[in-house]
Structure 1
Amino acid sequence: MHVSYEPNDPTESTAAPLVLDRRTGPHGEVVLRRHGELLQIIANGVFLMDTSDGRSERLLVDAARDALPRDRARPSVLIGGLGVGFSLVHAAADERWARIDVVERERAIIEWHQNGPLYDISGKALADRRTRIIEADLLAYVHDRNERYDALCLDIDNGPDWTVTEGNHSLYSPQGLAACARMLNSGGVLAIWSAQPSGDFEESLRNAGFSNVRTEEIPVVRGVPDVVHLAIRAA
């Protein structure tokens, strides 16, 4: 997720954003709009992300893959949050991933990718035989399913300390982190995108039994770097 964007981006128009679709679902209002060359997703009036720069999403996937054991030749990955599709597209471009599951709770976002304006970004990745889109709330999916993965790449909030919805806090709680660990194979990687580093969350990961906890920075044009929190499920 992204909480802001650069107003001086050369790809952006000075004209008012054009609303392409507006839906009301179980979690509130979701809007897709075009602003110049950018497509933007707004949820309950909060700017979430746009198509201006996918560095964060790419690093989220690559950092998780690179942290896996060397003998994990054909790993599986769960991507939490479809967003504008950058994480999915980047994962699908890498033949090393054997299975790519994407959990997205907003039906509108899924449809914008399947047959709407975001199809141009993700259409090829959606058609990839390794890809499966799962319409579900990530928190429920992590707690209720018996699926196992080598990597969990989660990007549903602006970080552990800045969630999009109140209920998402439970994902970063001891119970939520324990559920993530159960979903990982031995030596699997948990990667969580955040708009800012959190020393407290690093400590929470260690207390939950994860090892090799670290935070990798992602440079941005202005302000504090984005980060990816990384942790390994112990054998």
Structure 2
Amino acid sequence: MIPWKKLGIAQIPNNGGELQLSQRGEEFSIRLSGVRGELMNSRIYNSEQILAELGCALIKDKSDAHVLVGGLGMGYTLSATLQAVAASAQVTVAELIPEVVEWNKGPLGDCAQNPLRDPRTKVVLGDVAELLENQHEQYDAILLDVDNGPEGLTHTDNNWLYSQQGLESISRTLRPEGMLAIWSAGADSMFAIRLKKARFKVSIHTVRARPGKGSRHTIFLAQKPWRASE
């Protein structure tokens, strides 16, 4: 068997641990120090693609749509988002860890067909939570592929995203009928309740890590109503 080769390491802010990028043949893996198993693998990305497809389904033909992707990872969510929107769309991807961006420009690029090279892509280095809390940009869709979902694993500051306050702030950055789509490692009934309290129309989808097999992941779809009173 071909051995794994370490390509790089990155520190997660606020003592979140260390990420390690490794390669074995054409396969790539990202692991977190102190956690058993992988965070990401270049062969397992079906649920990330479905996140983008579901999140952008209502705007695929909309001119000048603006989508925010929270979390670059191995680039699969971003790549699927670019495939799901029109040529006139803009896709902003927020990534906390600079090394992850560099890995996607380098060894990881071919995995997801180099989405950072697409002229529609804009990269923002920083915490997507701060971006959503402090700016006045309006989005047609927000796709959060951050951490482990509502149950944070690598970065405790992500908890704000899934709090009642965070969800209400996210709603303010969405245009009427805009879609919030959230990837989660598992189901979370309390989080679905928080989404509804934030006046989103909620649907929950269970998807497989690989087409027809692998771990079951959860996609939360939360649509902002046309009017605040709805």
TM normalised by structure 2 equals 0.86
| Distance in 2 between residues matched to 1:102 and 1:170, nearest whole Å | 18
1:206 CA drift (Å): 0.4
2:11: which partner in 1?
24
Aligned amino acid, residue 24 of structure 1: Q
Q: Alignment partner for residue 220 of structure 2, among 213, 220, 229?
A: 229
- Deviation beyond 6 Å, 4+ runs, structure 1: none
Alignment pair present for 1:148 and 2:135: no
| Distance in 2 between residues matched to 1:71 and 1:89, nearest whole Å | 17
Change (3 A) 1:113 1:199: same
Question: 1:30-179, aligned counterparts within 5 Å?
Answer: 30-46=19-35, 47-66=38-57, 68=58, 72-96=62-86, 98-114=89-105, 116-122=106-112, 124-179=114-169
| Distance in 2 between residues matched to 1:37 and 1:18, nearest whole Å | 11
Change (3 A) 1:214 1:156: same
Question: Which deviations, in whole Å up to 9, do the C-alpha atoms of 1:85-124 show, x marking residues without a partner?
Answer: 001112223452611110001000011112x211223564
Identity of aligned residues (%): 33
Report the 3-state secondary structure (helix = DSSP H, G, I; strand = E; otherwise coil) of the residue aligned with 1:219.
strand
2:175: which partner in 1?
185
Tell me the C-alpha RMSD between the 2 structures: 2.1
1:218: which partner in 2?
207
Aligned amino acid, residue 99 of structure 1: Q
Change (3 A) 1:23 1:16: same
| Distance in 2 between residues matched to 1:219 and 1:123, nearest whole Å | 22
Change (3 A) 1:222 1:30: closer
- Name the stretch that deviates more: 118-127 or 178-187: 118-127
| Distance in 1 between residues matched to 2:59 and 2:123, nearest whole Å | 26
Report the 3-state secondary structure (helix = DSSP H, G, I; strand = E; otherwise coil) of the residue aligned with 2:159.
helix
Q: Please tell me whether the aligned partners of residues 59 and 140 of structure 2 are also in contact (alpha carbons under 8 angstroms).
A: no
| Distance in 2 between residues matched to 1:202 and 1:154, nearest whole Å | 15
| Distance in 2 between residues matched to 1:22 and 1:189, nearest whole Å | 34
Q: Please tell me whether the aligned partners of residues 153 and 192 of structure 1 are also in contact (alpha carbons under 8 angstroms).
A: yes
Structure 1's unaligned 5+ residue stretches are 1-13
| Distance in 2 between residues matched to 1:209 and 1:150, nearest whole Å | 17
Aligned amino acid, residue 198 of structure 2: A
Q: Please tell me whether the aligned partners of residues 167 and 195 of structure 2 are also in contact (alpha carbons under 8 angstroms).
A: yes
Aligned amino acid, residue 21 of structure 1: G
Q: Alignment partner for residue 205 of structure 1, among 185, 191, 195?
A: 195
Structure 2's unaligned 5+ residue stretches are none
Report the 3-state secondary structure (helix = DSSP H, G, I; strand = E; otherwise coil) of the residue aligned with 2:151.
coil
Q: Please tell me whether the aligned partners of residues 79 and 153 of structure 1 are also in contact (alpha carbons under 8 angstroms).
A: yes
| Distance in 2 between residues matched to 1:134 and 1:143, nearest whole Å | 14
Aligned amino acid, residue 39 of structure 1: F
